[in-house]
């Protein structure tokens, strides 16, 4: 099952404290960011909070904060320009360049609208340019400041069995269909970027990007850890003692498993190459680890009990 949720609404230009949203300090490590994100994403996930608009909004905020702070380049730019330019922090570099250009021209020319010498006070430059020039461009020399479009965030849900094979999915973003390929082996919480499918740029600037975070639900009796799979198998006492053969279910069909004589409870065997596919490495798979749970027989007949007594006497 696929469920696509976009997060492309226009936000106010005021400062959003992503560190506060995740409940971490500004010196947090990437590991701490990842841990905080996973904890909050589980807490506010739509599946856990159905029809809860407040939780849904929190979930979007947590995803947005993680998308910025988990990317070293974006985090650096956010730390540098976030408090000064608010929601427009991604354009901070362009604003700084425009501000420097303005300072260089003050001594030699007067700007359109008679605002020479005006103090911007670290305000919202995109709103300022838009109000003065009707779209963010300088009137002198025909040069315009180009602004990159807003990045969009989305969540795509799928089952673990879907993630085992490569999937093709058509998504609708802002009324446009986008056909994407989801490589086998995608991990829960992994984010991929679809370049150029975000918001439109301003004044001829490039489009933003679309970031898709995957939420993978596991409704199987396998446990996944990276590329490896783990499964517990019940083993009857007689097969554990004497050895034998089992037929077990794996992700790519049935497999025969030889049980060694005198197999102990809790022992583990490895089936090489029977695990999960390695992301973007076609033909490569992790391993499947089977742990035996040896079951003690119950409701023994009188004859069976007598045979166990004989076995016990041989051990004396």
Location of structure tokens 């446990």: 223
Per residue in 66-96, pLDDT (tens digit) is 989 998 988 998 898 888 777 777 877 777 7
CATH number at residue 306: 2.60.260.20
Q: Which domain-ending residue is among 98, 133, 168?
A: 133
CATH of the domain at 97: 1.10.287.110
Residues of the chain under the 70 pLDDT cut: 1-13, 99, 101-144, 316
Question: Is there a single domain that holds both residue 211 and residue 256?
Answer: no
Domain boundary among 133, 168, 196: 133
CA 258 to chain centre: 39
Residue 146 resides in a domain: no
107 and 20 in one domain? yes
Same domain, 252 and 173: no
pLDDT at 116: 41
Same domain, 240 and 213: no
Q: What is the DSSP string of 170-192?
A: EEEETTEEEEEEE-TTPPTT-EE
**Distance in angstroms (rounded) separating the CA atoms of residues 289 and 276:** 11
Q: Please, what is the end-to-end C-alpha distance for the chain in angstroms?
A: 60
In a domain, 25, yes or no: yes
Domain boundary among 217, 238, 272: 217
What pLDDT was estimated at residue 228? 96
Kindly state whether residues 51 and 111 are assigned to the same domain. Answer: yes
Tell whether 105 and 14 lie within a shared domain. yes
Assess if residue 2 is contained within a domain: no
73 domain residue, yes or no: yes
Same domain, 91 and 121: yes
Measured CA distances, 96 to 43, 86, 90, 104 (Å): 39, 14, 12, 12
- Domain assignment present for 38: yes
Give residue 170's pLDDT: 87
Regarding whether 243 and 190 lie in a shared domain, the answer is no
Q: Are residues 13 and 126 in the same domain?
A: yes
Neighbouring residues of 104: CB distance < 8 A, sequence distance ≥ 6: none
Where does residue 251 fall: left (phi above 0), alpha (psi -120 to 50 degrees), or beta otherwise? alpha
Dihedral (CA of 103, 108, 112, 116) sign: positive
Same-domain pairing of 118 and 165: no
**The pLDDT value given to residue 87:** 76
Distance CA 294, CA 237 (A): 6
- Say yes or no: 170 and 129 in one domain: no
User: Does residue 1 belong to any structural domain of this protein?
Assistant: no
Domain count, the chain: 3
DSSP single-letter state for residue 89: G
Question: Distance (Å, rounded) from C-alpha 60 to C-alpha 81?
Answer: 22
Say if 162 falls within a structural domain. Answer: yes
- 268, 262, 266, 261: which is closest to 290 by C-alpha? 268
Could you tell me if residue 180 is inside a domain?
Answer: yes
Which domain, by its residues, includes 173?
152-217
125 Cβ neighbours under 8 A, 6+ residues apart: 85, 88, 91, 95, 98, 99
Residues 287 and 228 sit within 8 Å (Cβ to Cβ): yes
Quote the CA–CA distance of 62 and 44 in Å, as a whole number. Answer: 9
Taking only the tens place, the pLDDT of each residue in 232-287 is: 999 999 999 999 999 999 998 999 999 999 999 999 999 999 999 999 998 999 99
Specify whether 126 is located in the same domain as 14.
yes
User: Strand order of the sheet with strand 223-225?
Assistant: 223-225, 228-236, 288-295, 268-271
């Amino acid at each position: 099952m696929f469920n696509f949720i976009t997060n492309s609404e226009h936000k106010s230009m005021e400062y959003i404290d992503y560190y506060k949203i995740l409940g971490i300090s500004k010196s947090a490590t990437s590991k701490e960011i990842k841990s905080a994100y996973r904890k909050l994403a589980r807490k506010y996930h739509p599946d856990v909070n159905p029809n809860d608009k407040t939780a849904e909004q929190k979930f979007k905020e947590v995803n947005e904060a993680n998308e910025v702070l988990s990317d070293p380049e974006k985090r650096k730019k956010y730390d540098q320009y976030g408090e000064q330019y608010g929601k427009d922090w991604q354009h901070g570099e362009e604003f700084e360049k425009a501000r420097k250009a303005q300072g260089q021209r003050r001594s030699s020319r007067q700007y359109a609208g008679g605002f020479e010498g005006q103090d911007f006070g670290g305000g919202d430059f995109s709103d300022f340019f838009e109000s003065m020039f009707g779209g963010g461009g300088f009137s002198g020399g025909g040069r315009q400041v180009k602004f990159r479009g807003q990045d969009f965030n989305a969540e795509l849900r799928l089952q673990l069995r879907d993630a085992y094979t490569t999937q093709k999915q058509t998504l609708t973003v802002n009324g446009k269909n986008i056909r994407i390929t989801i490589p086998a082996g995608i991990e829960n919480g992994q984010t991929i970027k679809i370049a150029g499918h975000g918001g439109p740029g301003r004044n001829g600037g490039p489009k933003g990007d679309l970031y898709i975070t995957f939420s993978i639900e596991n409704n199987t009796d396998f446990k996944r850890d990276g590329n490896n799979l783990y499964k517990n198998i019940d083993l009857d006492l007689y097969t554990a003692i004497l050895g034998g053969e089992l037929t077990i279910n794996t992700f790519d069909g049935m497999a025969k498993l030889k049980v060694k004589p005198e197999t102990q409870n809790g022992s583990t065997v490895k089936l090489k190459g029977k695990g999960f596919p390695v992301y973007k490495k076609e033909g490569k798979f992790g391993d499947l680890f089977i742990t035996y749970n040896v079951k003690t027989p119950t409701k023994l007949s009188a004859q069976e009990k007598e045979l166990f007594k004989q076995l016990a006497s041989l051990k004396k």
